[in-house]
Amino acid sequence: MTSETAAPPLPEKSRAGDPTARPDRLDAQLIRYGGAFAQFVIDSAEGSWLQTEDGRRILDFTSGQMCATLGHGHPAISDAIAQASGQVVHLFSGFLGRDVIELARELMAVLPEPLARAMFLSTGGEANEAALRLAKLHTGGHEVLAFTGSWHGMTAGASASTYSAGRRGYGPAVPGTMALPTPNPYRCPISHCRDRCDFTCLDAGIALTDAQSVGAPAAAIVEPILSSGGIVALPEGYLARLKQLCEQRGMLLIVDEAQTALGRVGTLFAFEQHDVVPDILTLSKTLGGGLPLSATVTTEAIEDDTAEKGFLHFTSHVSDPLPAAVGRAVLRTVLADDLTGRALTVGAHLRAGLIELQDRHEAIGDIRGVGLLLGVDLVRDRESREPDERYGTAVTERCLQLGLSVNIVKFPGLGSVLRIAPPLTISTDDIDLGLEILDQALTDCR
């Protein structure tokens, strides 16, 4: 069929009387995988803005799926795609393209020792899967700890250590997975602290996991800021204490920086703010700048040991050259344009605006996060801190009607929290516009 020849129309199917029929919806032929689809089509995107087919403009306060940290259509990414697509896009897993080799070198140049070796995959779930397999093979154990508010992916091993959602109805999780209380000072998981954390939740959680252990520890996998858990930054000193407890038990510490790496929190990597170097680091969303790219990074000692033991983790798109070229462009841009510093200054501007909204809207119970990864916790009243899920949903929907895309997390026990993570390149004028729209939505939905 030539490009000028129209495809023949698909035959109509009779759906009379079918209660599941959705003939008038854009997603009629799609599997629904996590809530409803918006009933409009995005036609183009540039910078911090999306445009629909019918001409509506939408300000993107979530960087797509928290991935487009340089904004949409950034020239560095477009140029990298164009150049790589003219050279080589995909290879046999045993072959290496130049961009894969150079991306590994460039990452090691900005990562602290002893992190020294990387593999490149497609998604955060894949990167965490590889990290867990490395940890289990290296230690000989299989027990894995993760936070109750965690989200590490939807593949088998990663989903077994994802506790914020998606656990029910899919059969047994991978054996050995155990949960630690999320150290949320605003909603203490053990009703011990209020607006501070003295690590009692960690001590209690470790005591419980020790009691459950069958003597086969492997790893703890944690996010430095739990995003799906309601934008909960680990308290000062917590990560160092957790690593100490891991070392005492022969466990590795895996830090999942899907959303926090490469500038969003004001440093290249969030673990730097905790004076801790993980045994294994995973990167994903922010590394690809909107393309599917992730990385698992570990030490020379762990990689040597697992290679000798026959570490196996093939995927169809391991070490693909094109996304690696984009990853190099993202890293170079973050460094050259000092987007880490920009995340701090623009993030402070955004936080100040949110605090002003909190002064006017009783439903804003807490504002938290770091840099340009912030959360707005919506409550029925500030004393009880009871989450207001209905209001949170209404505010999110109203924002979209007014031209602002924000995301809400409202899983049981985690609150009703607006996640705000605009591109690092967003202008302060667009920040102010987004705050105006959010103010209007908060008012309209009361």
Residues sharing a CB contact under 8 Å with residue 220, sequence separation 6 or more, in sequence order: 144, 145, 146, 180, 242, 246, 251, 252, 253, 254
* Helix, strand, or coil (residue 380): coil
Considering the candidates 60, 223, 257, 430, report the single residue annotated as catalytic. Answer: 223
Could you give the C-alpha distances from 433 to 51, 242, 350, 403, 436, in angstroms and in order?
16, 40, 11, 10, 5
Considering the candidates 136, 243, 264, 285, report the single residue annotated as catalytic. Answer: 285
Considering the candidates 257, 366, 419, 430, report the single residue annotated as catalytic. Answer: 419
Residue 49 a catalytic site member: no
Helices (H), 167-262: 200-212, 238-248
Residue 151 a catalytic site member: yes
* Helix, strand, or coil (residue 91): coil
Considering the candidates 243, 259, 303, 388, report the single residue annotated as catalytic. Answer: 259
Residue 338 a catalytic site member: no
Residue 223 a catalytic site member: yes
Considering the candidates 256, 279, 320, 430, report the single residue annotated as catalytic. Answer: 256
What is the rounded distance in angstroms from the CA atom of residue 364 to the CA atom of residue 443? 12
Could you give the C-alpha distances from 405 to 316, 361, 378, in angstroms and in order?
33, 20, 17
Considering the candidates 117, 151, 342, 430, report the single residue annotated as catalytic. Answer: 151
Tell me how many helices (H) and strands (E) the chain has.
13, 17
Kindly state the DSSP code that residue 31 receives in the 8-state scheme.
Answer: -
What is the rounded distance in angstroms from the CA atom of residue 301 to the CA atom of residue 139? 12
A 10 A CB-CB count for 229 gives 25
* Helix, strand, or coil (residue 299): strand
What is the rounded distance in angstroms from the CA atom of residue 258 to the CA atom of residue 265? 12
Residue 136 a catalytic site member: no
Q: Which residues are catalytic?
A: 151, 223, 256, 259, 285, 419
